[in-house]
């Protein structure tokens, strides 16, 4: 155990992987809280898939493999995908989940077409864009972590600045509008911040698993509290915890890829919360029901505290 801790601090690779994963967990935990509360959890999934053609086009246009250029492309494509999604929902009879599926899959298909086109064209020097599909947390280097920290820091700062506005938008958008807040602009800002989280996640856990990073921590945190501020802090902690534990597990065990391991750890946290959370946990609910049922069958009137008279 102490060896592991020492490695966590002094081993260059592990430190970067754990730090990067923790940063992703924090940023996606915070932004995921809003997404889950606004019932837009799967938006992150669509955004992550929609980002792929952006990465490819950025590479085709600039020929650059610079991370920042590719991530900018990813961000722009993700953003276009979101706008298209909103247009489909607002202007057609198709429901939101159809719009999500359409944007997600067609953008991704286009991205795959471009990716394979790039790969066979430049096969002398593999473009190395594949890593965005499954993520390569294990290959994170210090520069990546610095970029994550800057991007994530900006996103978190904006959340802090607009805390009150986002809260109002999340719980009562109409009231927010009637008070004169530009709800559309706020909504776009919040979604753009989710794009930032997705951009960080693409490199760590990849396109497919990004949905879990946004939804998991927030869904778990929601079970423990009814206060937004507490939920956000908890969600960020769960995200970070899953990131670090996942990184440690995949570092110590053979054949555990980092991204999927992080997601599996997160899933454990989610199910634990669903079952045992103090206020809403399914186990407590089941015990309560059983006690009530027993009281009823005993025929005694239910007494406060759930105990029946002898």
Partner 1 sequence: MSSALAVPLTGILVASACALLGNFLILRRMAMMSDAISHAILPGLVAGYVLAQGPNLLAGFIGASLAAIATVTAVEAIQRTRLVDGGAAIGIVFPAMFALGTVLVTRQFSEVHLDADAILFGNIEFVAFDTLTIDGRDLGPQSIWVMSLLCVINLLFIGIFYKELKLTTFDPGLAATLGFSPVIVHYALMLVLSITSVGAFTAVGAVLVVALVIVPAATAYLLTDRLALMIPLSVAIGAISALAGYRVAISLDASISGAMVTATGALFGLALLFSPTRGLVVRAWRARRHRATIASEMLVVHLLNHEAAADRDEENSVEHLSQGLRWSPARTDLAIAGASRRGWIVRANGHLELTRPGREIAQRVIAR
Give contact residues for partner 1 (rule: CB under 8 A).
Answer: 36, 39-42, 44-45, 49, 88, 91-95, 97-98, 100-102, 104-117, 120, 130, 133-134, 208-209, 211-212, 214-216, 218-219, 222-223, 255-257, 259-261, 263-264, 267, 270, 274, 280, 282
Cβ within 8 Å of residue 167, ≥6 positions away: 228
Output 30 or 100, the one with its CB closest to partner 1: 100
Output 15 or 38, the one with its CB closest to partner 1: 38
Cβ within 8 Å of residue 286, ≥6 positions away: none
Q: In angstroms, what is the minimal distance from the CB of 305 to partner 1?
A: 25
Q: In angstroms, what is the minimal distance from the CB of 304 to partner 1?
A: 26
Q: In angstroms, what is the minimal distance from the CB of 236 to partner 1?
A: 17
Output 49 or 202, the one with its CB closest to partner 1: 49
Q: In angstroms, what is the minimal distance from the CB of 196 to partner 1?
A: 19
Burial-class residue 286 by CB neighbours within 10 Å (0-12, 13-18, 19+). Answer: exposed
Output 12 or 117, the one with its CB closest to partner 1: 117
Torsion (CA) 44, 46, 48, 54 in degrees, nearest 10 = -140
Q: In angstroms, what is the minimal distance from the CB of 214 to partner 1?
A: 7
Output 58 or 210, the one with its CB closest to partner 1: 210
Output 1 or 93, the one with its CB closest to partner 1: 93
Q: In angstroms, what is the minimal distance from the CB of 119 to partner 1?
A: 9
């Amino acid at each position: 155990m102490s060896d592991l801790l020492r490695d966590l601090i002094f081993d260059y690779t592990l430190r970067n992987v754990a730090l990067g994963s923790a940063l992703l967990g924090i940023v996606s935990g915070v932004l995921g809280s809003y997404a889950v509360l606004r019932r837009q959890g799967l938006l992150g999934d669509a955004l992550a898939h929609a980002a792929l053609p952006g990465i490819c086009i950025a590479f085709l246009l600039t020929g650059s493999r610079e991370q920042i250029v590719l991530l900018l492309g990813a961000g722009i494509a993700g953003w276009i995908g979101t706008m298209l999604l909103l247009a489909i929902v607002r202007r057609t009879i198709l429901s939101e989940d159809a719009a999500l599926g359409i944007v997600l899959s067609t953008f991704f298909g286009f991205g795959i077409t471009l990716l394979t086109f790039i790969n066979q064209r430049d096969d002398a020097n593999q473009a190395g864009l594949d890593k965005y599909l499954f993520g390569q947390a294990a290959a994170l280097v210090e520069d990546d972590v610095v970029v994550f920290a800057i991007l994530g820091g900006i996103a978190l700062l904006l959340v802090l600045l607009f805390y009150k506005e986002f809260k109002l938008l999340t719980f009562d958008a109409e009231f927010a509008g009637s008070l004169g807040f530009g709800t559309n602009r706020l909504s776009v800002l919040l979604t753009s911040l989710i794009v930032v989280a997705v951009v960080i996640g693409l490199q760590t856990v990849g396109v497919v698993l990004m949905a879990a990073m946004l939804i998991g921590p927030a869904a778990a945190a929601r079970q423990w509290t009814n206060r937004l501020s507490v939920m956000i802090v908890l969600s960020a902690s769960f995200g970070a915890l899953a990131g670090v534990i996942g990184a440690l597990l995949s570092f110590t065990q053979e054949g555990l890829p980092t991204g999927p391991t992080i997601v599996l750890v997160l899933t454990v946290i989610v199910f634990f919360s669903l079952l045992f959370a103090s206020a809403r946990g399914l186990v407590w609910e089941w015990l309560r029901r059983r006690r009530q049922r027993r009281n009823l069958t005993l025929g005694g009137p239910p007494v406060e505290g759930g105990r029946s008279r002898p």
